Amino acid sequence: MTTMKRLLTYLTIPLALLTSCIGEEEFDNSCNGNFEALWQLIDEHYCFFAQAEEEFGLDWNAVHDKYKPIADTCRDELILFDMLGNMLGELRDGHVNLSSMFGTSYYWDWQLKEPMNFSDSIQRGYLGTDFKMTNGIKYNILPDSIGYVYVGSFSGGFNTNNLSLMLYNMRECKAIILDIRNNGGGKITAAEKLASIFIKEQIHYGYMQHKTGKGHNDFSAPEPLYLEPSEGARWLRSVVVLTNRGVYSAANHFVLIMRQLPHVAIIGDKTGGGSGMPLNSTLPNGWNVRLSACPTLDLDYRHTEFGIEPHIKVDITSEDWNNGRDTIIERAKALIFDYYSKKEEQEG
Amino acid sequence: MRILRLITTALALLAMPAMSRAQYVVTDTIMPQRIVVKGSQIGVTLLNNLDTYLSNYNHKGIGLNYSHETFRDARTGNYRWKYQRLFNATAGYATQGRNMQFTGLISQSWSGYHPFKITKGLTLLAGAQIQLEGGALYNPSNGNNPAAAKLRTALAATGMAIYHFPVRRSEWIARYQLDIPLMGATFAPEFGQSYYEIFGLGHAKGVVAFTHPGNNPSWRHMLSLDIPLKARQRSTTLRLSYIADLYQSRINDINCHIYRNTFAIGFARTILKVKKNNRLNDYSPY
């Protein structure tokens, strides 16, 4: 009998292991179920709770309590969508969105509550009508041999040849003004490709982490980020990068790299931030959620989620705005003149 | 005396080729060296997928399945062992609400069995299996985490029951196989790790995990019925199968299950293989 019992035990343990189904806690497809599912998804995966608490006192449990009564009484999908969008807005993160058949919820305050510091009408006066364009990058040569390059997005797929041709066309320029204002991001790889034409050797420019568990502080050790120089043409003369609050995500990543280069100056307004690489998931009703999951840190292990300060803070003045003059571009030109006049003085 | 011994030795040497030939002609029946059963099937798969790296909810759908099996006597152990090679490919489409998910998985397993004859019609087989599987679940609506790659290998315990039974004038074969992975290794990103970090930046430390029934309780059941196309002839059979491939894992707080229930139809052929250097020409009645 004892042997029989032992045999049964030996058979039962592996069978119990095997027959256990691996699943996930499923919320029902109701207003309340979708609310709880979204709250928990953010609670387990979002990566900036500590920074949000420090920056503006976010308490995610309090957010649950605030929206729970609305979820309890909600009976309509449209109301649910608005309510869940508002709840995500509490994170004040442009990378956190909810997508459904009703559209996509966005948090825009990081940009729209700040000075615009960019006007494409004013920019047209500098760029002219004879500008060149390569895969979304517009460029022209301003008077006094200063190259002006506008990169409005990193969503495009410019390649090394495009960038080499651009530098060839600007070979007579003494400096480049690289305008990335209102660049809301795109591909990190595109941002890195552009930055790689401004370095001559591998650089270490920051760190990246990811969540290792469901706790708010479960993070991997920061892994260093390196950038290799471009295999095509490279620009090692002066560069002035123009920024405003519309510089976000991959564009913020670009500034993170460029800020460390000795021949680069960042001028304009603080960037919009968005340093967390977003990942996606879904709710019981099939709506898609995007949330920041993998934070990027600078060389001093500081988060850049809420933006990167420029070297020189410049806003477009009301007077210049009314006169069709871009204060930030003018300041960049003055900076370049100043640099070269000092250099000439030193060289005698 | 010496001359007599020399003559005897010479006669013996001359007779040797004839003697060795005589060994060949003990029987003129050529025994097959190996019996190989090859079967191919196509089927319809019902999918139920969960991978919390992509979504916390089940995606259910349908797919196509192709499988090919080779089952033969193994050379090792004086042909007392059986060897099975099984290839399986699944391509499918599943949904959760408006979200789509594509499934593509290819697997191959190599098994060795020792048979135990229980009754005249029933044979039980037990053995070991090496499994290799690769593929991905792909959610096009996910931005930076559109896919969950699957690459794993495992050492599994495997068992089989083969039952021959007469139906009218022919012999049908029912077969049940169970495979249970016992230990192995699998590609497993960390909870919130992006593939950009792993493949773009090379931050790949720790993305291979050791698997065991505790974190990877999976099994595969296969039930098949071979029906001869002609009575008293078993060389070609119609094969009907049900395959329940139930893969599960819980690694780095990422829960995954890929349940595939496949109903397949195909043909199996029994081939009697004769050794190449033992062809009919080598045999002589004389």
Closest CB to A212: pick one of B190, B248, B250: B190
Interface pTM, i.e. ipTM: 0.87
pLDDT at A166: 95
Residue B12 has pLDDT above 80, yes or no: no
Closest CB to A280: pick one of B143, B180, B190: B143
Closest CB to B144: pick one of A47, A279, A284: A279
> A26 and B193: CB-CB below 8 Å?
no
Q: What is the average pLDDT score of chain A? A: 91
Q: Give A 286-315 residues with CB within 8 A of chain B.
A: 286-288, 290, 293-294
Rounded to two decimals, the pTM is: 0.85
Task: Provide, as residue numbers in chain B, all residues whose Cβ is less than 8 Å from the Cβ of A212.
Answer: 190-193, 252-253
The C-alpha of A150 sits at a distance from chain B's nearest C-alpha, in angstroms, of: 26
pLDDT at A347: 78
pLDDT at A149: 97
The CATH architecture one would assign to domain A120-206+226-275+303-347 is Alpha-Beta Complex (3.90)
pLDDT at A25: 77
User: Worst-scoring range by mean pLDDT, A25-29, A40-44, A126-130, A212-216?
Assistant: A25-29
- Helices (H), ranges, chain A: 2-19, 31-45, 49-56, 60-73, 77-89, 109-112, 120-127, 160-169, 188-195, 250-258, 318-322, 327-347
If one compares B98 and A282, the residue with the highest pLDDT of the two is: A282
d(C-alpha B50, C-alpha A37), whole Å: 16
Closest CB to A24: pick one of B52, B141, B197: B52
H/E stretch holding B110 reads strand B99-117
Q: What is the average pLDDT score of chain B? A: 86
Confidence of residue A8 (pLDDT cuts 50, 70, 90): low
Residue A193 has pLDDT above 80, yes or no: yes
For B193, the closest chain A residue by CA position comes to A210
Confidence of residue B49 (pLDDT cuts 50, 70, 90): very high
Residues 6+ apart with CB under 8 A from A179: A123, A148, A149, A150, A151, A241, A242, A329
Confidence of residue B23 (pLDDT cuts 50, 70, 90): very low
Closest CB to A280: pick one of B141, B180, B197: B141
Q: Does A128 touch chain B (CB under 8 A)?
A: no
Mutation site for B-interface testing, chosen from A11, A12, A19, A24 by largest number of B Cβ within 10 Å: A24
The C-alpha of B79 sits at a distance from chain A's nearest C-alpha, in angstroms, of: 31
CATH 1.20.920.70 in chain A: give the residue spans: 28-109
Stretch B234-249: mean pLDDT, rounded?
Answer: 93
B247: number of Cβ within 10 Å: 22
Burial (CB count <10 Å: 0-12, 13-18, 19+), residue B106: middle
Identify the CATH number of the domain defined by range A28-109.
Answer: 1.20.920.70
Tell me the per-residue pLDDT of A311-333, one tens digit each, with 9 for 90 and over. Answer: 999 999 999 999 999 999 999 99
Stretch A266-291: mean pLDDT, rounded?
Answer: 95
Residue type, B184: G
Highest average pLDDT, of A10-14, A20-24, B70-74, comes from B70-74
pLDDT at B168: 85
The dihedral over CA atoms of A304, A252, A196, A148, expressed in degrees to the nearest 10, equals -140
Structural domains of chain B in order of their starting residue, each with its CATH number: 36-62+73-282 (2.40.128)
Task: Provide, as residue numbers in chain A, all residues whose Cβ is less than 8 Å from the Cβ of B144.
Answer: 277-280
Highest average pLDDT, of A3-12, A32-41, B224-233, comes from A32-41
Residue type, B141: S
Q: Give A 4-43 residues with CB within 8 A of chain B.
A: 14, 17-26, 37, 41
Axis-axis angle for helices A160-169, A188-195 (nearest 10) = 40
H/E stretch holding B93 reads strand B82-96
In three-state secondary structure terms, A242 is strand
Strands A175-179 and A238-243: parallel
Residue type, B46: L
Residue A155 has pLDDT above 70, yes or no: yes
> B213 and A214: CB-CB below 8 Å?
no
CATH 3.90.226.10 in chain A: give the residue spans: 120-206+226-275+303-347
Task: Provide, as residue numbers in chain A, all residues whose Cβ is less than 8 Å from the Cβ of B145.
Answer: 279-280
Residue B240 has pLDDT above 60, yes or no: yes
If one compares B8 and B251, the residue with the highest pLDDT of the two is: B251
